[in-house]
Amino acid sequence: MASLAKLCDANVELLKSGVVHVVPPIFQSYGLKQTFSGRTVTLRVLDEDVSVRELIEGYPDGDGKVLLVDGGGRRECSLMGENLVMLARNKGWSGIVVRGCVREVYEINKCDIGVRALGSNPVKGKKEHDCVQYVSVSFGNFNIRDGDWLYADSDGIIVSKTDLCSGDALPVSG
């Protein structure tokens, strides 16, 4: 994957037209992989982690996708810890973005996967079902839909309705 800076430079018109969005710089970086990308699989939860586990376990293969967990920006508990992050890595997910908190950061930082979250909280999520899968996640003036393309590196996160790169090739504007 090209750097986000290069992807943005090569796709100025797509940024202007709203096909590509820059996610606000609100996320902390965890895990060993600083760069990851893939199609999103979205899940909205409220202070619980059971649904996150079920989606990861039930999904046949992460196949390079990015799991986007929308916790509504709440920070009252964590939505993922080391076990779920390792499970996602072992099932082939490219990365994880949590609009909420994670826990067991020391252990997550040793995992060979990219994780972005608003922060950390040592309190576990509830053990109940309160989720909606495959939904749009709102980030102010734009939505990230299930199946959109997400690209993350140390500069931040961008989301596109279309694939911006193929392999390591730079995208073509248009």
Q: Are 52 and 69 in contact (CB under 8 A)?
A: yes
pLDDT number for residue 58? 87
| Residues 114, 93: Cα–Cα separation, whole Å | 9
What's the CA gap between 30 and 109, in Å, rounded? Answer: 5
Please report the pLDDT score of residue 123 as a whole number.
95
> Between the CA of residue 71 and those of 63, 109, 115, 123, 154, what are the distances in Å?
23, 21, 15, 14, 22
**pTM exceeds 0.85:** yes
Amino acid at 55: L
- pLDDT score for 168: 38
Per-residue pLDDT of the chain (174 residues; tens, 9 = 90+): 789 999 999 999 999 999 999 999 999 999 999 999 999 999 999 888 888 999 999 887 888 999 999 999 999 999 999 999 999 999 999 999 999 999 999 999 999 999 999 999 999 988 776 667 777 888 767 889 999 999 999 999 999 999 998 643 333 333
CATH class of residue range 4-160: alpha beta
Could you tell me the residue ranges of all domains in the chain?
4-160
CB atoms near residue 29 (< 10 Å): 16
Q: What is the pLDDT of residue 2?
A: 82
Q: What is the pLDDT of residue 170?
A: 38
CA separation for the pair 68, 36 (Å, rounded): 13
Specify the amino acid at residue 104.
E
118 backbone dihedrals φ, ψ, rounded to 5° = -70, -25
Strand, coil or helix: 158: strand
Partners of 103 in beta bridges: none
Looking at residue 166, what DSSP letter applies? B
**82: number of Cβ within 10 Å:** 17
Asked if 66 contacts 96 with a C-beta cutoff of 8 angstroms, the reply is yes
Tell me, what's the pLDDT at 132? 73
